[in-house]
Chain A
Amino acid sequence: MVADIAVEPSKDPHSLYISKVEREQVHEAIQQPPVEFREIILLREYEELSYQEIAVVLGCAAGTVMSRLGRARSKFGVLLSDTSQSRDRREKESCE
């Protein structure tokens, strides 16, 4: 089986669990926004392209990239907050 995560020996089991939960939240959140937000976040944060480079790939102006990235980040911030809260709620309910 191919591992898709790195196991960090310095981390304790609780930290590893938290990292796993965070990854799942991000992957869940990444499915949700419109493609124009998803693609710009992936180019910026995963591929680490500059504004100018993203503008070339997407065929739009650098100013458009900046405004779209700002809106995309806001959207992801809200989504990640929502998924985190709903997960906390589920865990709380399952413990009651």
Chain B
Amino acid sequence: MTDMRAEGRAAMSDGNRRRIDDELGTAARGALATRGVTKRYGSIVAVDGVDLDLPAGSFFSLLGPSGCGKTTLLRIIAGLEQPDGGTIHVDGLDITRQPPERRPFNMVFQRYALFPHLSVFDNVVFGLTTAGSERPPKAEARRRVGDMLTLVGLDGYERRWPSQLSGGQQQRVAVARALIRQPELYLFDDSFSALDVATDARLRHALRAVTAAATVIIVAQRVATIIEADQIVVLEDGGIVGLGTHDELLQTCPPYAEIVESQLAAEAS
């Protein structure tokens, strides 16, 4: 863990390093609690009365087969979908009806959702220029964009257009764009799937330092991406069928054990 943080810190400017260190020194924020969160599309129940408790600064993961409601749950937490029932609290405050721009979260979308008409620099700096942002001076914003691009391994890509990047590079820009705002809670929706295994591991290591003061929820298909999570939630048909660490779930949650076994078998073959 110390090595990982050192790697992430080394990629940052002094200002950013101080800010992260300051945050690490104070109590982490971003404790999330959901109660009975439900979402229906006609007769289909996408999310079925989900109760979650995420302590501030925890690393949480959602796992399950396609269509089990992972992305819908993440979008409800982000405020991009309104639940049909239930509540969402952050640090004790009810944010169920708050619009996404007023929530202290940032999401990395599964299909990147980069702004096609803006350069890589403008995509990443966007979150520092909106109404709900701190709007730092230009020089500071430029330095922070540089830090984030260094962190995701895209130094020198500032002037490229999204259409000039590979899928993996676009995904890394999307990650940098979410990281730059340093929110209380990060939502990663299968955000490492387009990366090769080595880049995936390297990026996750580097992210640990930047996201250490925040709560992180990751939706992932690869077990390797979530194996270190403090808690893993296994979803099926919109409901929770397993909750615990990797080792606990291997013992107590047959659907999770099945997913792990099938991935290990696929890797072995």
Partners in one complex: no
Q: CB within 8 Å of A: which residues of B?
A: none
Q: CB within 8 Å of B: which residues of A?
A: none
